[in-house]
Amino acid sequence: MLAGILSAARRNNPQMGITGALVCRADLYLQLIEGPVDAIDALYARICEDDRHANIELLLTEGMGERLFPNWAMLDDEAPSLFWSAADVATGALEAASPDELLAPFIRLSAAHPGG
pLDDT at 116: 58
CA dist 28 and 115 (Å) reads: 27
pLDDT at 42: 95
Residues in the chain: 116
CATH class of 2-112: alpha beta
CA dist 93 and 22 (Å) reads: 19
Containing 31, the helix (H) or strand (E) segment is strand 28-34
Domain boundaries of the chain, sorted by first residue:
2-112
> Across the 116 residues of the chain, what is the mean pLDDT of every consecutive 10-residue run?
82 92 79 93 92 86 86 76 77 90 86 73
- Please name the residues in contact with 75: beta carbons below 8 A apart, sequence gap of 6 or more: 20, 21, 22, 69, 109, 113, 116
pLDDT at 78: 62
Q: In what order do the strands lie in the sheet with 28-34?
A: 28-34, 19-25, 75-77
pLDDT at 48: 93
CA nearest neighbour of 33 among 61, 11, 7: 61
pLDDT at 33: 93
